[in-house]
Amino acid sequence: MSIDALIRFYLKYNIFMSILIYTHEYPPFKGGIATSTEKIAKILSIKHQVYVCCPTHGISNIKDLELKNLIIIRKNFLGGKNFKKIPLSQYIQGLNFLKKTVKEINPEYIFYLGEEAEIVGGLLNNKKIKQIVRIAGSGITSVLENNNIFSIVKKKYMYRVYKNSSQLIAVSKNTRELMLKSNYFDNPNKIKLIYNGIDKEFIEKKVNQNIRHQLGYSDKDFILITVSRILPRKGQDNVIKALSKIPNKDIKYICIGSGKYFDNFMKLVKKYNLEDRVFFLGEMDRANIHKFYDCSDISILCNRTWNKKIEGLPNVGLEAMGRSKGLIGSKGTGTEELIKDKVNGLIVNGENVDDIKDKILYAYNNKKLVKEMGTNALKLVKENFSDEQMKKKYLDLFNES
């Protein structure tokens, strides 16, 4: 029986395939790759036996998600939560960890998520096991198009794992275009576009605006929200600078998330005397994050290329739209794919503070349109970015590989 026939037989009679997901970012680590990896693992475990191979992030006694057919295998990397600051070490430890796990599990597939995982996969250089790579896009600009000494070594192994893989997943059209233009993806037939989806339960949670009043906002306040790690690439600093040019104190800004640039951005807030308008609320549990979207008027993601990294398609943009919020998002990033200008959001130049200021003022002065944009945003998510669509495409992936 051929491999393809065997796979069809497995799926038809619910005989599980063994899939090993390897990543350096998995909850409780925060970020898009971690969130997406957990979601993909849960999806694949519907029909297959899934193992997730990942670091502990220096956290002891992690209570991992317990699902049938999903097993999380963790290793405490040297450096604990700061293991990524020892780059060579993380790859050597990762390779040994992956080799040991592959030997014990003998999976039929290895699925790599994240640039660090791709490098470890290239070091492993296993050509006998079928492999799949999910590519968000930032590694293309920060590594593959970078010619410093460290990137030259990294891209050798990233290219190797791309060559060894049967399928390459692009998370957005923008990412796919970057891949097609790059010399490191020499077989365009391998590239498949699969968007992230938003689960129905999240979309259908009862609207709860109590947070708005608990935070001391009045009904006349116009609230912008960004849910993201605090980094220049995410653009919170440029939103703060834009607000400094807007004297209207009714326009407020909430930032949800954490990151090493928190102190830098707080200095900006103080520099521009915006302490009563800009609020950093730290990380929030996903079970409650919908309440913060609900208390806002519009979401804003002024992503920009920073440290040679570009944004793929942020989950938080889909989340905001799934809570009926229009989105102010940057052109030239995956976020732009979500936005039809002045229909479900506003397209902005994330590098241009004056343009950000103008788009914020436009939203404030067109509150009725902002509500309509929220309605249209929800419609877009339901029609094009549903959890069911994502599930089908990822499960179908293993029919095609």
SS3 26: coil
**19's tokens:** 């899939």
Fold adopted by 201-384: Rossmann fold (3.40.50)
The pLDDT assigned to 14 comes to 54
Domain boundaries, the chain: 3-197+387-400, 201-384
Euclidean distance between CA atoms 395 and 46, whole angstroms: 9
Instruction: From 317, 284, 313, 304, select the one nearest 211 (Cα to Cα).
Output: 284
pLDDT per residue, tens digit, the chain (401 aa), is: 444 454 455 445 455 799 999 999 999 888 889 999 999 999 999 999 999 999 998 888 888 877 889 999 999 999 988 898 887 899 999 999 999 999 999 999 999 999 999 999 999 999 999 999 999 877 787 777 778 887 888 889 999 999 999 999 999 998 999 899 888 898 999 999 999 999 899 999 999 888 888 888 988 999 999 999 999 999 999 999 999 999 999 999 999 999 889 999 999 999 999 999 999 999 888 888 999 999 999 999 999 888 777 777 888 999 999 999 999 999 988 889 999 999 999 999 999 999 999 999 999 999 999 999 999 999 999 999 999 999 999 999 887 65
Cα 397 to Cα 169: distance, rounded to the nearest angstrom: 10
pLDDT at position 334: 84
* Residue of 26, 83, 81, 74 lying closest to 58 (CA atoms): 81
CATH number belonging to domain 3-197+387-400: 3.40.50.2000
Residue 400: predicted pLDDT: 64
Give per-residue pLDDT as tens, 78-98: 998 889 888 789 999 999 999
Q: Do domains 3-197+387-400 and 201-384 have the same CATH topology?
A: yes
Given a contact cutoff of 8 angstroms between Cβ atoms, the answer to whether 113 and 151 are in contact is no
pTM, two decimals, is 0.86
- 3-class secondary structure for 175-217? HHHHHHHCCCCCCHHHEEECCCCECHHHHCCCCCCHHHHHCCC
Determine the Cα–Cα distance for residues 344 and 340; give it in Å rounded to an integer: 6
